[in-house]
Amino acid sequence: MEFFLISMLNSLSYGLLLFMLSSGLTIIFSMMGVLNFAHASFYMIGAYFAYQISTWIGFWPALAVAPLLVGSVGMAVERYGLRTVHKYGHVAELLFTFGLAYLFEEAVHLIWGRSSVPYAVPPSLEGAAFTLFSTDYPIYRVFMMAVSVSMLIGIYLTLTRSRIGLVIQAALTHPQSVETLGHNVPRVFMLVFGGGSALAGLAGVIGGNAFITEPGMAAAVGPIVFVVVVVGGMGSLAGAFLASLLIGVLQTFSVALDYSLVDLFARLGITIGPDTPLAAVWNLTISQTAPVLPYLLMVLMLIFRPKGIMGTREG
Amino acid sequence: MAKLKYRPLNLGRWFVWGGTALLMIVLPLIFTAGFTLTLLSQIGVGIIFALSYNMLLGQGGMLSFGHAVYSGLGAYFTVHAINLISKGSFYFPVTLTPLIGGLAGMIFGVIFGYVTTKKSGTTFAMISLGIGEMVFACSLMFAGFFGGEAGISTNRVIGKAFLGITYGPAIQVYYLIVGWALVCMVAMFAWTQTPLGRMANAVRDNPERAEFVGYDTHMVRFLTLVLSGFFAGIAGGLSCINYEIVTAENVGAVRSGGVLLATFIGGAGFFFGPIIGIVVFFTMVTAVGAMTQAWLFYLGILFLLMVLYAPGGFASLIVMHVPVIKARLMRRLWLPYAATLATGMVLFAGLVSVVEMTYHFSLEAGTNPEMKLLGIAFNVTHTAPWAVAVALLVGGFVVSRFAWSAVGRAWGDIVHVLQEKST
């Protein structure tokens, strides 16, 4: 029970972090048709900016400044890069963001070196928030959840209650009509791209010190975010939310479970020795398969329900 | 991408193919330094890999982020096959072992391809990425087959020497690679001329119309991917013979990304584009990589510039000039080109200085602030060198934009003249 509750809380905080990344990606994708390969790179530079700023003026200013900086980098990328390649089609845009991901990673190597940086949780957020049975639950995890949830409510309110949110929603489905009505759709695109990058940057600020801030963090989280978007359904925010939580649960629980098919067979009275055919497969524990599970889920989803959990369109 | 029709005489085709073969055969005899043979072998294997990748990207319009899966698994099957042969489990000539890799690539193409090729475009790209990550994660799970962190090593010198060929010396392996590369190049070029190759083009350009004509687009993409997996597997098998070791890197995302970069830089729209791309790619990796640690940064910038300004790659830049040369209009371009080159060099010098100085500063500013660039020694902790570098960067950017617009104007004139001539 204790294990279950703690793991559930951990999945929730990880899932919410994933949603901060996937929500930006989803909004950008459904609005512009651009699959932003460099999205996880914005997450990474968010963490690095936060580290750099927190060494100068502390964590709290960094929490506000770093996402804004990442957002302005995102806007510059859209304005001077994506808009130029837009005429060559979506594949060219995807290639552009792919090249950008390389460039960001190398720039991080250049500036901060190849090993991880000591970006730590601020002292005011260290310690336990509450004790569940015998396990202390860290304050920082609670803080992460609070930031994610308030961000979530923020996006929801912006998209549904504000004027710019309504324009964005309209531009999602009918960009031409919105343009005819006198709205500057390219500028809306730029703002959305910047906003999505800023969200990824914020996820980096709070995720970088919870996990680890290193040049490989973008490559580690990027494919998972893509899995979330595919499983949730391309372009569906609600789907991305469900899929983020699902992947969060899947990854958190699977790393902790040490059961293999051998144990199952043993209960059924079948013994598996080292000479049994495919012994390597039967001996795998769930925790060993943990890195594969999200991708397996994606492949199964594509076979049985190609439009994803909540998706409305196929591909 | 620019649609340019370029159909050389058949005599020209023989000349190009013969010339390529001759070049590949004589190059190691001209450049005898040890590292050139390594580089040339890499390029030979890379050509097969990149051409197989271009069957997807260029011919079939499928942007794959996981092509190393097929070459890597091909390499793993080849390495196990060679180890079994050397144990005497079965008999098979080493020369033909890349075929085992090819078959493995093909079988995995059948397995993964059926799911991935249902859709093209962005969806295909994402799924291929997912499959690539899945196989890479599996490679760390099944240590028996993939060899874990250390990989699987082998010894290619097995069995009796046949006509003195043992594959001990690197030069023999190079000629094995050249032989396979030529066979695969011809086969892949021939494939583009088959009905399936043509249908792959049709499905790339207009899947809806291809469906209406009566073709199953999923099937066309699927068959293309299976064949592409076959050739990728051959490339993997050859790289296994070349290095005598296969590690999890062979199926990893870095390998997949590399072949994408090389193919695109060379030009995905042309059959010979990836060959140029691979030569540029490996030359950059070897030559620039020897000079600076930031080579990947420069490669990334080259790739981005290509995506932004020359989406047809180097091949399209070459083909673009063919009608201009035929119409004897090149003289209009020399001056703007020279100006762009000169100003571009300033910009490039600025960029290189900033990058190298940043690198030096972040790595060893405390211990060794002195550095040398283009023979000029200076101290990276001083302001003056930074001011010079930034001035070069900004000044170069401004003047090269002027030169670049002159190129644009000259091209506008030439296109105008060519159009008038043709009417």
Q: Where are the domains of chain A?
A: 2-246
Out of A15-19, B35-39, B165-169, B402-406, the most confident range is A15-19
Q: Which pLDDT score, from 0 to 100, does residue B180 have?
A: 93
CA distance A243 to A240: 5
CA distance B415 to B333: 12
Q: Which pLDDT score, from 0 to 100, does residue A62 have?
A: 87
- From A293, which residue of chain B is nearest by alpha-carbon distance? B134
Model confidence at B161, pLDDT cuts 50, 70, 90, reads: low
Q: Which pLDDT score, from 0 to 100, does residue B229 have?
A: 95
The burial class, CB within 10 Å (0-12 / 13-18 / 19+), for A197 is buried
CA distance B210 to B216: 8
CA distance B360 to B362: 6
Does the beta carbon of A35 lie under 8 angstroms from any beta carbon of chain B?
yes
Q: Which range is least confidently modeled, A140-154, A249-263, B1-15?
A: B1-15
- In chain B, which residues have their Cβ closer than 8 Å to the Cβ of A284? 141
CA distance A220 to A216: 6
- In chain A, which residues have their Cβ closer than 8 Å to the Cβ of B257? 98, 102
Q: Which residues 171-210 of A have a C-beta within 8 angstroms of B?
A: none
Q: What is the ipTM of this complex?
A: 0.85
Per-residue pLDDT for B277 more than 70? yes
Tens of pLDDT, residues B62-118 = 889 989 999 999 999 999 999 888 888 788 888 888 999 999 999 999 999 888 888
Per-residue pLDDT for A147 more than 70? yes
- In chain B, which residues have their Cβ closer than 8 Å to the Cβ of A92? 307, 311
Beta bridge partners of B153: B245
In 3D space, the residue among B224, B268, B189 whose CA is nearest the CA of residue B60 turns out to be B224
User: Is B339 strand, coil or helix?
Assistant: helix
The burial class, CB within 10 Å (0-12 / 13-18 / 19+), for A118 is exposed
User: Is B383 strand, coil or helix?
Assistant: helix
Beta bridge partners of A131: A136
Q: Which of A91, A105, A314 to mutate to test the interface with B (most CBs of B within 10 A)?
A: A91
Amino acid making up residue A207: G
CA distance B71 to B50: 11
Contact check, Cβ <8 Å, A295/B133: yes
Q: How far apart are the first and last CA of chain A?
A: 41
Cα A297–A300–A303 angle (5° rounding)? 150
Q: Which pLDDT score, from 0 to 100, does residue B260 have?
A: 92
The domain B23-295 is placed in CATH, from the list 2.60.460, 3.20.20, 1.10.3470, 3.90.1200, at: 1.10.3470
- In chain B, which residues have their Cβ closer than 8 Å to the Cβ of A302? 115, 118, 127
In 3D space, the residue among B284, B318, B287 whose CA is nearest the CA of residue B303 turns out to be B284
CA distance A176 to B181: 50
Does the beta carbon of A90 lie under 8 angstroms from any beta carbon of chain B?
yes
Q: Strand ranges (DSSP E) for B131-196?
A: 152-153
Alpha helices in B244-330 (DSSP H): 253-266, 273-283, 289-291, 295-309, 313-326
Tens of pLDDT, residues A92-136 = 888 899 999 989 998 998 888 888 888 888 887 777 777 777 777
Per-residue pLDDT for B6 more than 60? no
Q: Which residues 254-283 of A have a C-beta within 8 angstroms of B?
A: 280
Query: Under 8 Å CB-to-CB from A13, ≥6 apart: which residues?
Result: A141, A144, A145, A148, A248
User: Is A301 strand, coil or helix?
Assistant: helix
Pairing of strands B376-379, B370-373: antiparallel
Count other C-beta atoms under 10 Å from residue A309's C-beta: 18
CA distance A173 to B375: 58
CA distance A294 to A20: 18
CA-based nearest distance B376→chain A, Å: 21
Ramachandran angles phi, psi of A272, nearest 5°: -110, 120
Q: How far apart are the first and last CA of chain B?
A: 24
Helices and strands: H and E segment counts in chain B: 17, 4
DSSP code, position A135: E
- Reported as type and span, the H/E element at residue A114 is none
In 3D space, the residue among B249, B209, B271, B221 whose CA is nearest the CA of residue B50 turns out to be B271
- Reported as type and span, the H/E element at residue B371 is strand B370-373
Domain ranges of chain B: 23-295, 327-422
Count other C-beta atoms under 10 Å from residue B16's C-beta: 12
Q: What is the mean pLDDT of residues B358-363?
A: 79
User: Is A201 strand, coil or helix?
Assistant: helix
Per-residue pLDDT for B380 more than 60? yes
Query: In whole numbers, what is the pLDDT of chain A averaged over residues?
Result: 85
Contact check, Cβ <8 Å, B141/A85: no
Q: What is the mean pLDDT of residues B172-186?
A: 91
CA distance B347 to B351: 6
Q: Which pLDDT score, from 0 to 100, does residue A275 have?
A: 66
User: Is A137 strand, coil or helix?
Assistant: strand
In 3D space, the residue among B110, B98, B121, B38 whose CA is nearest the CA of residue B69 turns out to be B110
Query: In whole numbers, what is the pLDDT of chain B averaged over residues?
Result: 85
Beta bridge partners of A130: A137
Model confidence at A259, pLDDT cuts 50, 70, 90, reads: confident
Tens of pLDDT, residues B231-269 = 999 999 999 988 888 888 888 888 899 999 999 999 888
Model confidence at B1, pLDDT cuts 50, 70, 90, reads: very low
Beta bridge partners of A132: A135
Q: Which pLDDT score, from 0 to 100, does residue A97 have?
A: 92
Ramachandran angles phi, psi of B8, nearest 5°: -75, 165
- From B357, which residue of chain A is nearest by alpha-carbon distance? A110
- Reported as type and span, the H/E element at residue B154 is none
Model confidence at B291, pLDDT cuts 50, 70, 90, reads: confident
Tens of pLDDT, residues A204-251 = 998 888 888 888 888 888 889 988 988 888 778 888 899 999 999 988
Contact check, Cβ <8 Å, B127/A302: yes
Say if CB B266 and CB B277 are below 8 A apart.
Answer: yes
Does the beta carbon of B257 lie under 8 angstroms from any beta carbon of chain A?
yes
Query: Under 8 Å CB-to-CB from B225, ≥6 apart: which residues?
Result: B56, B60, B62, B109, B113, B116, B117
Joined tokens for residue B165: 């060929």
Share above pLDDT 70 across residues of chain B, in percent, rounded to a whole number = 95
Buried residues in B162-187 as b, exposed as e (16+ CB within 10 A): eeeeebeeeeebbbbbbbbbbebbee
